Amino acid sequence: MTDLFTRLVVDPSREAVAEGAILLRGFALSFEDRVLPALRSVIEQAPFRHMVTPGGYTMSVAMTNCGAAGWVTDRSGYRYDRHDPETARPWPALPSSFLDLAIAAAKEAGYADFRPDVCLINRYEPGAKLSLHQDKDERDYAHPIVSVSLGLPATFQFGGPNRIDPIRKYALRHGDAVVWGGQSRLFYHGITELKDGDHEILGRMRINLTFRRAL
Ligand code: MD3
Ligand code: FE
């Protein structure tokens, strides 16, 4: 079996983004047929909503979750909650197609033991953005995060461990997966305002799935 370093060097669909982070262009495309119907089912059970930050701002990104818990924010703060605050019911289970995709991407990046328990689902409509932030609400930062981009392309901003670190930009397109582990796990990142467009499957939106081991 060819080692990870050799595959990174020879395969143009893989890009090293930072220490521990690898971009897998088009990795999710072969899972699309199973993932998109499962996504529709999750959204029916737990519709997208615009959450409010502790500072009182309504987020331009709409969110929902599936799995053992979900990431939520309200005036009292950020947390993982086992129940959907809108319905007081447990979040929908992680679909097997979601799990298969996340586990396969993590394995491809060298994280063979990754077993996510949460998927945060972000929906961007034209003009929506996610300001520079760190993901620090999970229990153990040793686990990577797997992200999957669907629909309209977006500009991803990637900095470093400090807010003032220089920022690089990457285009993330339909089907791209990124695995964020090692040092990169706590790096600042964000999404610039989504440009308008019309994706052939998802229309005027971008959807991002982030798979996490949160509990
Ligand atoms: C780097 N989502 O949900 S995905 C988020 O496209 C989030 O919706 C963005 O940032 C989105 O928290 C970016 C790429 C991503 C996700 C999590 C990371 C990059 C990351 C965690 C640590 C470092
Ligand atoms: Fe994030």
Domain boundaries, the chain: 2-212
- Is there a contact between 24 and 108 (Cβ–Cβ < 8 Å)? yes
Q: Using a 6 Å cutoff on CB, does residue 185 contact ligand 1?
A: yes
Find the ligand nearest to 212 CA: 1
Looking at residue 8, its pLDDT comes to: 76
Looking at residue 22, its pLDDT comes to: 95
Helix axes 96-108, 32-45, angle to 10 degrees: 130
Looking at residue 9, its pLDDT comes to: 74
**DSSP E strands, 48-175:** 62-67, 70-74, 77-81, 83-84, 89-90, 118-124, 130-133, 145-151, 154-158, 168-172
Looking at residue 12, its pLDDT comes to: 80
Q: Using a 6 Å cutoff on CB, does residue 147 contact ligand 1?
A: yes
Looking at residue 194, its pLDDT comes to: 99
Looking at residue 1, its pLDDT comes to: 64
Question: What is the CATH code for 2-212?
Answer: 2.60.120.590
**SS3 of residue 195 by DSSP:** coil
Pairing verdict, β 168-172 and 77-81: unpaired
**SS3 of residue 203 by DSSP:** strand
**Which residue's CA is the nearest one to ligand 1's atom 5?**
210
Distance between Cα 135 and ligand 1 center (Å): 8
- Is there a contact between 119 and 184 (Cβ–Cβ < 8 Å)? no
Q: Using a 6 Å cutoff on CB, does residue 189 contact ligand 1?
A: yes
Q: Using a 6 Å cutoff on CB, does residue 98 contact ligand 1?
A: no
Q: What are phi and psi of 4, to 5 degrees?
A: -60, -40
pTM of the model: 0.96
Positions of the chain with pLDDT under 50 = none
Looking at residue 2, its pLDDT comes to: 77
Looking at residue 5, its pLDDT comes to: 79
For a mutational test of ligand 1's pocket, the pick from 135, 158, 188, i.e. the residue with the most ligand atoms closer than 8 A to its C-beta, is 135
